[in-house]
């Protein structure tokens, strides 16, 4: 399992669920945990996106002994199985209803066609349109909400693990489904296609079973005036690949049910004519009820896999996990390990606000090779390499300079770090720029706002930034804290 490099939905959800649970833990504890997880994984490729993906996959399967993923995985399959059982139940039930035959009246061919051919065909066509992206355009933006509503309606009725999975899904959908991206949509399509397939498939199997165990007679009655000749030619064109199974004109004519002569007499005269309908029906169900659905199911599952991989690769929490896995853990060990840990935990949280910010290591430098750096309103830029290109915006810049910075940064397409002064509040002119930057960069490109603090008093202000920016609700937007070097004592220092 460790070697497989294809993330599953459970891996994706594990990233989401685990990082939400991690919100309570100190960064040091998380670093210790994740750094430890990777220890026996060193021989795997270490560079490039595939290496990162493998590393992250290993993480989802090992964190908390893999229990989170296991439960999510089991939950997903439990839910699917339950759904499948329900679909089979429905399919068998529908088949028993339309193929009911007690010798007094023939099975209505048209009813069979409606339930097991026309209905599946129409829903398959709607699904296909949806998968092609036509339907979401009809209801733009409503899909995550709709999905969330469906999931939450189902969630409470599911057993343990499955309801956890549903909760995780719903959580993501509630947050706008951005992290799941298309994976959520395709998961929805896959499930619906597989369940629909189960319905028609079990209907067809029931039909076969009834045929094998009892005599069935078919007739066709319609409240509409259907011309027997037209019906036959219609069937012929539908079954163009097997014209031989279509009953001949006489049989079609003969098996019209509403006649002066009672059905039992007609049946006695020529039972084979009434029985011969099973062939075209069976073919129609297979060709138009089952086959398209099979294709759609296969297609949507494939697309789901791909979407899951994409979402997994750019999951906003993934970057944090990878950083923790890759960065060596430095601990100043005291004689008593536990005591040292609690101390470290406390110094990790310098202020009481719950929006604790990750503090950047000032030794960690960003170069313009990998990151774009924006300096808002002449904020200090700790942690930026001397030769790195830094773009300015805000403060003394003109609006045109802002636009140029925005344009250049978006064009570079690299992750962005924006430095801001922690002692000033976030203004609308900043969030305006940030939001358009995020729009232009698109989902999946990390954007860090580094709030530079000078003294203890700026800590509260920094958490104001964190709250304000988290209200934007963009999963790839992160707020981190940075400390201005050589300026830790705010009270003692003069003016720039």
Q: Note the residues at the interface with another protein (CB under 8 A).
A: 377-378, 394-396, 398-399, 421, 423-429, 432, 454-455, 457, 460-461, 464, 467-468, 490-491, 493-496
In three-state secondary structure terms, 378 is coil
Q: Which is nearer to another protein, 341 or 355 (CB)?
A: 355
Q: Minimum distance between the CB of residue 377 and another protein, rounded to whole angstroms?
A: 5
Q: Minimum distance between the CB of residue 478 and another protein, rounded to whole angstroms?
A: 20
Q: Minimum distance between the CB of residue 95 and another protein, rounded to whole angstroms?
A: 60
Q: Minimum distance between the CB of residue 434 and another protein, rounded to whole angstroms?
A: 13
What are the percentages of helix, strand and coil residues in the chain, rounded to 5? Answer: 60, 10, 30
Q: Which is nearer to another protein, 129 or 490 (CB)?
A: 490
Question: Residue 343 and residue 324: Cα distance in Å, rounded?
Answer: 20
Q: Minimum distance between the CB of residue 457 and another protein, rounded to whole angstroms?
A: 4
Q: Burial code of 177-203, b = ≥16 C-beta within 10 A, e = fewer?
A: bbbbbbbbbbbbbbbbbbbbbbbbbbb
Cβ–Cβ < 8 Å for 409, 425:
no
Residues 485, 490, 493, 496, CA torsion sign: positive
Q: Which is nearer to another protein, 399 or 411 (CB)?
A: 399
Q: Minimum distance between the CB of residue 455 and another protein, rounded to whole angstroms?
A: 7
Q: Minimum distance between the CB of residue 459 and another protein, rounded to whole angstroms?
A: 11
Q: Which is nearer to another protein, 329 or 471 (CB)?
A: 471
Cβ–Cβ < 8 Å for 167, 155:
yes
Q: Minimum distance between the CB of residue 496 and another protein, rounded to whole angstroms?
A: 6
Q: Which is nearer to another protein, 24 or 400 (CB)?
A: 400
Q: Which is nearer to another protein, 260 or 428 (CB)?
A: 428
Cβ–Cβ < 8 Å for 312, 318:
yes
The end-to-end CA distance of the chain, in Å, is 57
Task: List CB contacts of 465: < 8 A, sequence separation 6 or more.
Answer: 420, 422, 425, 426, 449, 451, 479
Q: Which is nearer to another protein, 303 or 421 (CB)?
A: 421
CB atoms within 10 A of CB 277: 25
Paired strand residues for 449: 418, 479
- Phi then psi for residue 400, to 5 deg, are -65, -40
Q: Which is nearer to another protein, 43 or 400 (CB)?
A: 400
Tokens at residue 245, please?
Answer: 């199974």
């Amino acid at each position: 399992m460790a070697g497989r490099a294809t993330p599953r939905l459970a891996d994706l959800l594990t990233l989401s669920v685990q990082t939400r649970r991690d919100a309570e833990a100190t960064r040091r504890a998380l670093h210790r945990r994740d750094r430890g997880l990777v220890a026996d994984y060193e021989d795997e490729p270490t560079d490039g996106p595939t290496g990162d993906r493998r590393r992250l996959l290993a993480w989802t399967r090992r964190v908390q002994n893999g229990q989170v993923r296991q439960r999510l995985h089991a939950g997903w399959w439990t839910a699917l199985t339950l759904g499948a059982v329900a679909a089979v139940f429905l399919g068998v039930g529908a088949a028993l209803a339309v193929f009911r035959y007690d010798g007094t009246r023939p099975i209505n061919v048209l009813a069979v066609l409606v339930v097991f051919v026309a209905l599946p065909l129409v829903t398959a066509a709607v699904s296909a349109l949806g998968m092609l992206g036509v339907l979401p355009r009809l209801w733009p933006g409503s899909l995550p909400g709709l999905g969330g509503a469906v999931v939450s309606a189902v969630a409470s009725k599911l057993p343990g693990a499955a309801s956890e999975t549903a909760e995780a899904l719903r959580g993501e959908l509630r947050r706008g489904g951005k992290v799941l991206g298309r994976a959520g949509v395709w998961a929805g399509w896959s499930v619906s296609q597989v369940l629909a397939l189960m319905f028609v498939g079990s209907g067809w199997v029931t039909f076969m079973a009834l045929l094998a165990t009892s005599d069935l007679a078919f007739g066709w009655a319609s409240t509409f005036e259907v011309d027997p000749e037209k019906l036959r030619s219609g069937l012929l064109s539908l079954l163009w690949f097997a014209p031989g199974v279509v009953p001949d004109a006489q049989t079609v004519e003969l098996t019209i049910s509403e006649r002066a002569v009672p059905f039992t007499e007609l049946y006695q005269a020529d039972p084979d004519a009434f029985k011969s309908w099973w062939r075209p029906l069976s073919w129609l169900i297979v060709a138009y009820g089952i086959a398209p659905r099979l294709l759609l199911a296969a297609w949507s599952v494939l697309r789901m896999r791909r979407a899951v991989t994409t979402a997994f690769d750019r999951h906003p929490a993934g970057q944090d996990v990878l950083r923790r896995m890759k960065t060596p853990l430095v601990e100043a060990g005291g004689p008593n390990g536990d005591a040292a840990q609690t101390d470290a935990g406390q110094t990790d949280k310098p202020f009481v606000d719950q929006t604790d910010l990750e503090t950047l290591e000032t030794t960690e430098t960003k170069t313009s090779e990998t990151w774009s750096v924006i300096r808002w309103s002449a904020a200090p830029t700790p942690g930026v390499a001397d030769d790195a290109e830094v773009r300015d915006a805000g403060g003394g810049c003109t609006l045109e300079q802002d636009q140029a910075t925005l344009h250049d940064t978006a064009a570079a397409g690299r992750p962005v770090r924006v430095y801001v002064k922690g002692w000033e509040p976030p203004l609308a002119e900043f969030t305006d720029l940030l939001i358009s930057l995020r729009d232009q960069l698109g989902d999946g490109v990390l954007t860090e706002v580094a709030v530079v603090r000078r003294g203890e008093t700026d800590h509260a202000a920094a958490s104001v930034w964190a709250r304000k920016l988290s209200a934007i609700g963009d999963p790839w937007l992160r707020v981190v804290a940075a400390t201005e070097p050589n300026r830790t004592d705010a009270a003692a220092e003069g003016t720039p």
